[in-house]
C-alpha cells in the first residue's frame, strides 16, 4: 500500500510534459510525460491543467481509487502510483499530485488502439462489441462494462482499450484496464457541486463497444453471463481511501464512496434479478 502512495514531496521538475487535449469536452488539457531512467520505463500524467488556473481537479487521485477498487473486485488492471511532487510546466513550478505507471507491454509486444485494429480487421456490418466477442475477448469486455458502470467512466473511447500483439509468438491480447481518471465525480471542483451530485445519475459516456449510457450498457451482457466479481464490503472503504486524508477532502471521499457503494448494490440487484 505504501508503495502506491508517496506523500513526501518529490522533485520531478526534470520531466517534460506533452499536452494531450481533453477528449471529454471539459476545458483544459491533460499533460503526460515519461521517464526511461533505470530499467523500467515509467509514464506520468497530471490532472486537468489550465494555463490560467494551473493544475485543477483530482483525476490522478481517481486513478489510485479505481486501482484499489479493481484490486478488491479481482479485475485485472494497470496499477498506478500517486506521487506528491513539484513539476515544471512552461517555466512555472507547481506542487501537485500526479500518477505514475509502468509499461504494460511484455517484451516483443507492440500496441495498437482497439478502434484502429477494429477498422482493419472487422467483418462487414460487424459492431465493435461483436468484433470483440469474435476475437475471444467477451469476458474482458463484460468486466469492463461493469467497471465503467460502477465508476461512471466517461472516457472509454477506442484508444483507451489497447490491443497487444507479439508477431513472433503470434499472440494477441487486450491490455489490462487503464485510464480511469475521468470517472466518479471528477468534474466536481467545488463543495457545492459535490453536495449536489446525484451518484446514480446516468450521465453521457464515451464507450467504444457500447452506447452513451453506462447503465444501458449493462444490458449488453447476456443474462446469466454477468461477471461475478469479488464482493465489495462496506468495510472496504478504509482500504480504498487509506492515506488520502490529506490528499482529497472528506466531502469528496464521502461522495465517491456513496457512488461506488450504491452502484455496486445496483449491479448486484441487476445480476440477481435477471
User: CA angle at residue 214 from 208 to 217, to 5 degrees?
Assistant: 70
**CA-to-CA distance for 9 and 84, rounded, in angstroms?**
5
Give me the DSSP letters along 20-86. EE-SSS-SSEEEEEEE--SSS-EEEE-S-EETTTEE-S-HHHHHHHHHHHHHHHT--B---EEEEEE
Classify 226 as helix, strand or coil: coil
Q: How many CB atoms lie within 10 A of CB 214?
A: 26
Q: Cell numbers at residue 46, please?
A: 497530471
Summarize pLDDT for 65-85 with one digit per residue, the tens: 999 999 999 999 999 999 999
Q: Cell numbers at residue 108, please?
A: 516483443
- In percent, how much of the chain has pLDDT > 90? 88
| pLDDT for 112 beyond 70 | yes
Mean pLDDT confidence for 244-255 = 98
Domain boundaries, the chain: 2-102, 110-272
What stretches of the chain adopt beta strand conformation (E)?
Answer: 5-11, 18-21, 29-35, 42-45, 49-50, 54-55, 81-89, 92-102, 110-113, 155-156, 162-166, 171-174, 206-207
CATH code at 2-102 = 3.30.200
First to last CA, the chain: 37
Summarize pLDDT for 168-202 with one digit per residue, the tens: 999 999 999 999 999 999 999 999 999 999 999 99
Task: List all residues 6 or more positions away from 259 whose beta carbon is below 8 Å from its beta carbon.
Answer: 151, 152, 184, 185, 197, 199
Question: Which of 39-43, 92-96, 264-268 shows the lowest mean pLDDT across its residues?
Answer: 39-43
The region, left, alpha or beta by phi > 0 then psi within -120 to 50, assigned to residue 21 is beta
pLDDT attached to residue 41: 85
| CATH class of this structure's domain 110-272 | mainly alpha
What stretches of 103-161 adopt beta strand conformation (E)?
Answer: 110-113, 155-156
Summarize pLDDT for 139-161 with one digit per residue, the tens: 999 999 999 999 999 999 999 99
Classify 256 as helix, strand or coil: helix
Summarize pLDDT for 17-62 with one digit per residue, the tens: 987 544 443 344 689 998 886 667 899 999 999 888 899 999 999 9
pLDDT attached to residue 2: 63
Mean pLDDT of the chain: 93
Mean pLDDT confidence for 124-128 = 96
Amino acid at each position: 500500500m505504501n508503495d502506491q502512495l508517496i506523500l513526501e514531496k518529490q522533485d520531478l521538475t526534470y520531466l517534460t510534459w506533452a499536452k494531450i487535449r481533453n477528449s471529454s469536452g471539459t476545458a483544459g488539457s491533460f499533460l503526460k510525460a515519461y521517464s526511461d531512467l533505470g530499467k523500467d520505463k515509467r509514464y506520468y500524467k497530471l490532472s486537468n491543467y489550465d494555463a490560467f488556473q494551473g493544475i485543477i481537479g483530482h483525476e490522478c487521485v481517481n486513478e489510485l481509487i479505481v486501482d484499489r477498487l479493481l484490486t478488491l473486485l479481482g479485475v485485472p488492471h494497470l496499477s498506478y502510483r500517486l506521487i506528491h511532487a513539484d513539476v515544471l510546466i512552461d517555466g512555472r513550478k507547481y506542487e501537485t499530485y500526479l500518477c505514475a505507471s509502468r509499461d504494460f507491454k511484455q517484451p516483443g509486444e507492440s500496441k495498437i488502439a482497439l478502434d484502429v485494429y477494429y477498422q482493419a480487421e472487422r467483418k462487414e456490418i460487424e459492431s465493435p462489441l461483436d468484433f470483440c466477442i469474435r476475437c475471444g475477448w467477451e469476458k474482458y469486455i463484460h468486466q469492463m462494462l461493469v467497471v465503467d458502470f460502477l465508476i461512471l467512466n466517461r472516457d472509454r473511447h477506442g484508444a483507451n482499450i489497447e490491443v497487444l500483439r507479439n508477431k513472433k509468438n503470434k499472440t494477441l491480447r487486450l491490455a489490462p484496464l487503464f485510464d480511469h481518471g475521468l470517472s466518479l465525480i471528477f468534474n466536481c471542483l467545488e463543495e457545492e457541486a459535490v453536495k449536489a451530485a446525484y451518484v446514480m445519475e446516468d450521465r453521457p459516456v464515451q464507450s467504444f463497444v457500447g452506447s452513451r449510457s453506462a447503465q444501458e450498457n449493462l444490458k449488453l451482457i447476456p443474462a446469466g453471463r454477468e461477471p461475478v466479481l469479488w464482493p465489495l464490503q462496506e468495510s472496504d472503504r478504509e482500504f480504498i481511501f487509506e492515506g488520502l486524508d490529506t490528499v482529497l477532502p472528506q466531502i469528496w471521499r464521502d461522495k465517491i464512496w456513496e457512488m461506488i457503494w450504491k452502484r455496486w448494490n445496483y449491479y448486484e440487484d441487476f445480476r440477481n434479478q435477471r
